[in-house]
Structure 1
Amino acid sequence: MVPATEYYSGLGGGNGDRPFFPKCLDWIMENQNSDGSWGLDPDHPFLVKDRLSCTLACVLALTKWGVGQRLVQNGMDFIASNGWAAANNNDQFSPVGFDIIFPWMVNYAKELDLTLPSTLTSHVVDSSLHVQDSDIRRKQNVQVYAMEGLGKACNWKGVISEHQKSNGSLFNSPATTAAALIHCRDDKCFEYLISVLNANCSGWVPTIYPMNIYARLCVVDTLEKLGINRYFEFELRNILDEIYGHWLKKEDEIFSDITCRAMAFRLLRIKGYDVSSDEFAEFVDQEHFFDTVSIQYGCGVSTVLELYRASQARICDEGVLNKIHAWTSQFLKQQLLNQTILDKRLQKQVDYDLKNFYGTLDQFGIRRSIELYDARHFQILKTACRCPTVHNDDFLLFSVQNFRISQSRYQQELQQMERWYAECRLDRLTRGRKILQISYILTAAVIVGPELSHARISYAQVVVLITCFDDFFDIYGSKEEAFSIIGLVSNWKVHRETSYCSQEVEILFTALYNTVNEVAGKAYDEQGYHVEHDLVSMWLELLTSFARERDSWNQNIDSVSTLDDYLSFAWKSVGCKPCVFTSMHFLGIRISEDIFTSTEYTSLCQHSSLVCRLLNDLKTFKKEHEEGALNSVNVQTVNGGISEEDAILKIEEIIEYNRRKVLQMVYKRKGSIVPRECKELFWKTCKIAHCLYSHQGGDEYSSPIDIANDINGLISEPL
């Protein structure tokens, strides 16, 4: 990392012919790139502009103190060959404040009698100065944050008086603070710079200091995205506890950095800490954001993406986050449309987050994160900088190995699922969807961890059975067969004299009977109480709701005339309740029977089931209308009720409301009796529904197309 700070302190500080910080000059002389430049990644095609700025700063520092003449010449040669980059804003990453700071450095070079290439002293500089003037007039904070480019023209005493932080810095910027020290001796500025150097004794300083909180947040976020956070739960919890304390104290390091604030809010909220979205009130307007608050930390696409992610953690009616979500999503879409995101990894991440934010299943996202992870990732602030604590080969190697181990386990469990499927004779059902593999893979994508094998398999088995029964009731089973199954479940016993009206009925009922009894036995071993009765009741409720949705089968069922009528029972037919109930007994935690009768648990069932039910309805209402089946859209449009477009908007509003209610309960820590692991299972079920039914194409469950690569990547494709 190039010590841009010390170039400025070196230019005018010290006593007579001595610089304040000689170690920084030593660092400069020891760290020139082979092409004569200074800066990160000399071969990176988008960092030429950044290296041009770093190189000129180093050349000025060396020239000022009359050292490193050969290095100066090498630097001048680089500047001569790459001066074109100074005016290139299309395919070059531009350091923050470049159009103010760089022209000043060019002018200072003239004072030192350095002969710069004409490409810098004519058209390029004139162009940069023009931008400088216009930016200063339009954005007062550009002038403030990049004021090292104003030199003697700046009222440094006034700036120090107004903007100096408690740590002695100006904006936590060593460069700006060093510039102030050159023009206005200040003990606090000097002490701050000493503290920066003491934090790293090798002679270089970071472009922003301190960044400890941001770096630690990035570690938490990175380990979660790479799927290895469970190995560091104690350490990560301590980090978040400490950062929450800083949040409550409104620590400047968090609140002066937009990206840091957004990431802190998101990570703290989803982990159940009480953080208010009111802290983002100043960012609700896009124009105000870019004109007044965004320059200090080089806020561009990556910062807006963090704000967008923070807005997705909104619960209930949070107007501030609603407004931020509206403009950030539109801004990011426009960046993709205009193809202005130079970083291709960032471009892919933005595209993926916008397409299906809630539908990013854990393991699908982990694989994508591994593939997009760059151990040499850098940020563009006043110069390109890299944090090896966050981006390093160790994290990548660990996550790759962990994913491969999980993939091997999933392959074994899928074979176990296939044996169960055959033993239950479900493979003999010739009609209906073939969904064994996708049912298991979707489950494995959200229930992660080698110790959760029983939870994954039991959840996937329920999904398979629900689908088989759903197809039978909806597509090829007769009215008599359907009610025969309901009767069998209601009696819940199998003996030699049991009579079945068809082979399909026998296969379906015995598969359900044997699976429920086996799961109930395992659940008793885990929890110490019987769940068979509860499971049977849930299945009876589910199958009865299937029958009611086929309203035409039973003339005794009251007609469904309103959306409220439909919603009162339709949430039960999506199967969320038995999926979660069955699996949650195998999460490795003790679960009290009392939670199943609690209001909190019942609300989680209803809200999450409505999310899943209505997402499915939006994808299938045309097909179900043709089949004469009930659907939340069709029940509104029947007999000219309202238009299809208005009906869809109404359903989307209901989905949004219920999704926020689920998240609110998942995030809640105080006063919650349902364990966090169980609440998260409800939310993971919602994520599966988002994954399947939120894509632009068709029903991804019945015919996976958009998620086909994710499916292959999780189970079979080598990483």
Structure 2
Amino acid sequence: MEFSKSFNIQALVKTIKGELKLGSNDPYSFIAPCAYDTAWLAMVPDESRPCQPMFNNCLDWVLSNQNEEGLWGEYDGHGMPTIECLPATIACMIALKRWKTGEMIIDKGMAFIEANAEKLIGEIHGSNCPRWFAIVFPAMVEMAQTSGLEIIFPDRKKRVVMDIFYKRERILEREELVDKHHYPPLLSYLEALPALCNFDQEDVHKHLHADGSLFQSPSATAGAFMATGNKDCLNYLQALAQRSTNGVPQTYPMDEELLKLCMVNQLQRLGLAEHFNQEIEGLLEQVYRNYMNQDQSRPKWTNSMETQLYKDSLAFYLLRMHGFSVSPWMFCRFLREEEVQDQIERNHEYFSSVILNVYRATDLMFPGDHVLEEARSFSRKLLEKTISKANKDQNIVPFPSFQSVIKHELRFPWMARPDHLEHRMWMEEKNNSGLWMGKTCFHRLSCLQNDKLKQLAAQNYEFRQTIYKSELEELTRWSKSWGLSDMGFGREKTSYCYFAVAASTSVPHDYEIRMMVAKSAIVITVADDFYDMEGSLDDLEKITDAVQRWDAKGLSGHSKTIFDALDNLVNELARKYFRQHGTDITNSLRDIWSETFASWFTEAIWSKTGFIPAAEEYIETGMISIASHTLVLPASYFLNPSIPYYKLNPAQYESITKLLMVITRLLNDIQSYKKEQKEGKTNFVLLHLKENPEADIEYSIAYTREILEKKKKELLEHALMDGFNDFSKPCRHLHLSCVKVFQMFFDSSNRYDSNTEMFQDIQKAFYIPVEIGAPKPLPLHSGSKKRYPTVAANYHFDQRYKNRNYIRLAANCLVSQPLSGNPYMKMPMAPNFKLCFM
């Protein structure tokens, strides 16, 4: 069974590698087309034959890509259509109506809107309506009406629609076509702007990009060309249509390096990096060379400022995670540009995906990275603000599931999240194809690529589950056979111990490493509890002496059980190592365990005699008694056989090992001080409080956390970067994984001592299948296609609009005057519209 699963995974990996070709394939194939922008290109008439479309491939895409439910566009994290699909669907229907084709498809789209418009706009309320939607949606409704399409909205939602129109009025009155306060600028929505905005050819020409685009937006550039006949716009559109033969993206051109980085990020988040290591390393090396060769002063921000910031922060994160030496200024230069910061803060909802990426990049903070601290504070403040608004109105953040991703990032520190479960969460996050917010929707991975990656990720995850379940059963039998699971005191943590090692690394080490660390953790837990709560001083002195001598003579009962299990474990590891490498490491393993048992005995003496050590003396013993080095150093022999002998002796521990020991001790102490205070024991928090009588417990905790954060930054640098120690990368990453395990157990409470808190995580890690499903189909309107009068004709006059310009705007917006002689841009007034506002 396992062989069959492995074979299927490798076959799918081979297929995906052939399609992806990270180093050479067209990166545009990674990005899903945008229905809204493709529809706009489909509307452009041929210059020589105005009765025919200029871009037949775009019209063909519209004809071929209507979803089963009748919409064009995307689904949210729950498999339901988003508000993005409303303007996209209307735009596609307008394009089809323009060329008198796809009548049945149009009817299906109309039926979808009739059946679902109430739900889709139900939560939008005036001022809380997203800016982009308030600009684009009214324009699409108006264009549909002038094209002869009656967009039907339920009577009880017409006030909501009216509020959206009113918000557009306020936007148009308040904003300049291009100003420094609003992003994207109003002119980037040119295709949706009514004639009263008074833009002209000079406005278009002034803001054209060198490639002939208007803010690199296909839809805006299509609108500009139809309005002005600008030849540069035409050249841009023709180049775009030639490059994108299967629907166009919402931004063109796109940064091809960014698209590849997004694919690497997706592979890592899905837990698939182990299958694409060579491709990922090759791409990152190229990105690093480009970074080192570019002008480090960096040019001014371009019109696609959000894209640049997204790319730079993502590149920094991936490069630093893979051991490349990069400066935080790679993406943090925005902190020295007040105008850019102001723009991000004013438009934080639009920038939410970019800000989240900045926040993630600050997870990888080294000592002295003060600019990253500033970036973290800035990004966290804006993410919290976005979530606060989203809690009041679900449309502030485009997808509810995206809100959950932000909340997850803010609630759980990166170091407290086991990789295995993070991969699962990302697989089950149905909006994980969304990369960053564009003008009217997220840039997304193409459906084909994302579906195959999800399929591979699910198979890979469930294959691991099969292995993990089998190994946990074996470990349980081992623990029981040596009497460790039935001691009658303390904690039985076999599942916790195995879960910790299996779930903590993105690429699981081999069977021997997992079992070695898990067995060591079981012995440590049982022995530590024996020293803490069961053994008398006489018992503890005997077992400590026995371990120093490595001789069980004189032991009995629990002491004998613990020693025999430990002796079996050490001998087993030594035999395996000797068979593989021809060296006897028995004495080195015994030395590490002897040191650990001696520290437990010292602490037991302190506890039973009431002795209170100084904080410095305590930490010297406590960093050994936490036994994290006892877990990772024996495994390091197997991961890096060339480690010099002296590096694994207590007096010669590497700095990364010492950092690990201190960090894990302090993590434990912050969450255990109340329990240990009741039991008459001490820890670092309590000792600091005792030595600083003017302080309170909160101050001592804050002081300990300050030390902890500093040490974690140091360890992260030692783990990710070369040159700090002689350990190989796998050894260093094992140290980092151990820190993450302790952070997970002791982040906000002592989860290790709880019998219930880890239950659900263990179930998800080992037993519960991954839930990856296709979007749920929506029921179409079941009755006959009941026709209502147009929205405009059914607006009821409301006294609160009497003294405002809304009535004038609503009527005049439907009379768009052309900026040139292009006949298609003439929009006649909708029937009955004058009557309803008389």
Matched, 1:539 2:593: yes
Is the 2:218–2:237 Cα contact (8 Å) retained in structure 1?
Answer: yes
Q: CA deviation at 1:185?
A: 5.9
Counterparts of residues 242-261 of structure 1 (less than 5 Å):
242-248=286-292, 249=294, 256-261=307-312
Over 3 Å counting, the alpha-carbon distance change for 1:665 and 1:375 in structure 2 is: closer
- Give the one of 530, 538, 542 matched to 1:472: 530
Relative to structure 1, the CA distance from residue 673 to residue 230 in structure 2 (aligned partners, 3 Å threshold; closer, same or farther) is same
Give the distance between the partners of 1:254 and 1:264, measured in 2 at CA.
15
Q: How does 1:96-135 map to 2 (within 5 A)?
A: 97-104=132-139, 124-135=164-175
1:637 is aligned to 689
The 5-angstrom pairing of residues 499-510 of structure 1 reads 499-500=554-555, 502-510=556-564
- Contact 2:42–2:59, Cα closer than 8 Å, also in 1: no
2:420–2:765 Cα contact (<8 Å) kept: yes
How much has 1:694 moved relative to structure 2? 0.9
Kept after mapping to 1: 8 A contact 2:77/2:400: no
**Letter in structure 2 aligned against 1:307:** V
Indicate how the Cα distance of structure 1 residues 12 and 125 shifts in structure 2: closer, same or farther if over 3 A, else same. farther
* 1:649 is aligned to 2:693: no
1:349, CA displacement in angstroms? Answer: 3.0
Q: 1:353 aligns with which of 376, 397, 409?
A: 409
- In structure 2, the residue corresponding to 1:426 is in which secondary structure? coil
Residue number in structure 2 paired with 1:678: 731
Shift of 1:58: 3.8
Change (3 A) 1:633 1:594: closer
Q: Aligned to 1:468, what secondary structure does the other structure show?
A: helix
Identify if the C-alpha distance between structure 1 residues 60 and 602 changes in structure 2 by more than 3 Å, giving closer, same or farther. Answer: same
- Partners of 1:217 and 1:264 within 8 A in 2: yes
**Cα deviations by residue, 1:568-610 (Å, 9 ceiling, x for unpaired):** 3321221111210112233487545475479996211111222
The match for 1:607 is 659
Given candidates 85, 90, 97, the residue that maps to 1:51 is: 85
Instruction: Give 3-state SS (helix, strand or coil) of 1:275's partner.
Output: coil
Matches of 1:592 and 1:187 in 2, distance apart? 70
Return the alpha-carbon distance in structure 1 between the equivalents of residues 647 and 201 of structure 2.
Answer: 63
Kindly indicate whether the alpha-carbon contact (under 8 Å) linking 1:3 and 1:206 is maintained by their aligned counterparts in 2. no
Q: Which residues of 2 match residues 548-559 of structure 1 at below 5 A? A: 548-550=602-604, 552=606
Residue of structure 1 in register with 2:424 after alignment: 367
Taking the aligned partners of 2:331 and 2:760, their CA distance within structure 1 comes to 37
Q: Return the alpha-carbon distance in structure 1 between the equivalents of residues 200 and 625 of structure 2.
A: 70
Aligned to 1:575: 627
**What CA distance in whole angstroms lies between the structure 1 residues aligned with 2:512 and 2:126?**
51
Mapping of residues 312-323 of structure 1, within 5 Å? 312-323=363-374
The answer to whether structure 1 residue 416 and structure 2 residue 468 are counterparts is no
Q: d(CA) in 2 for partners of 1:629 and 1:623?
A: 9
Select between 391-400 and 33-42 the one with higher mean Cα deviation.
Answer: 33-42
User: 1:390-409 residue pairs with structure 2 within 5 A?
Assistant: 392-409=450-467
Classify 1:178/1:546 alpha carbon distance in 2 versus 1 (closer, same or farther; 3 Å). Answer: same
* 2:244 aligned partner: 200
Higher helix share: 1
* Pairing of 1:107-186 with structure 2 (within 5 A): 124-136=164-176, 138-139=181-182, 141-150=184-193, 153-154=198-199, 164=209, 167-182=211-226
Distance in 2 of aligned mates of 1:206 and 1:608 = 47
Cα deviation, residue 633, structure 1: 0.7
Relative distance call for 1:228 and 1:22 in structure 2 (3 A) is closer
Structure 1 residue 644, shift from structure 2 partner: 0.4
Bigger CA drift: 457-466 or 185-194?
185-194
The AA in structure 2 aligned to 1:701 is Y
> Is the 2:517–2:635 contact (alpha carbons within 8 Å) kept by the matching residues of 1?
yes
Q: Cα gap change, 1:73/1:444 in structure 2, threshold over 3 Å: closer, same or farther?
A: closer
Are 2:303 and 1:269 equivalent residues in the alignment?
no
Matched, 1:585 2:637: yes
1:21 aligns with 2:55: yes
Q: 2:350, 2:667 → 1: CA distance?
A: 35
Which residue number in structure 2 is paired with residue 462 of structure 1? 520
Task: Give the conservation status (yes or no) of the 8 Å contact 2:484–2:561.
Answer: yes
- Structure 1 residue corresponding to 2:762, chosen from 694, 711, 715: 711
Unaligned runs of 5+ in 2: 1-33, 771-838
Q: Retained in 2: the 8 A contact 1:424–1:511?
A: yes
Cα contact 1:362–1:446 (8 A) shared by 2? yes
SS of the aligned residue for 2:743 comes to helix
Equivalent residues of 2:213, 2:233 under 8 A apart: yes
1:13/1:645 CA distance change after superposition, 3 Å? farther
Cα distance in 1 for partners of 2:60, 2:754 equals 63
TM-score by length of 2: 0.74
Note if contact 2:41-2:222 (Cα within 8 Å) is conserved in structure 1.
yes
Q: 1:242 to 1:116 in 2, by over 3 A?
A: same
1:667 aligns with 2:701: no
Q: Deviations over 1:235-254 (max 9, x none)?
A: 22223223334444479889
The structure with higher relative contact order (CA 8 Å, sep 6+) is: 2
| Separation in structure 1 between the aligned mates of residue 763 and residue 183 of structure 2, nearest angstrom | 52
Deviation at 1:705, TM superposition (A): 3.0
The TM-score, its normalising length taken from structure 1, stands at 0.85
Q: Say if 1:277 and 1:318, in contact at 8 Å, map to a contact too.
A: yes
RMSD: 4.1
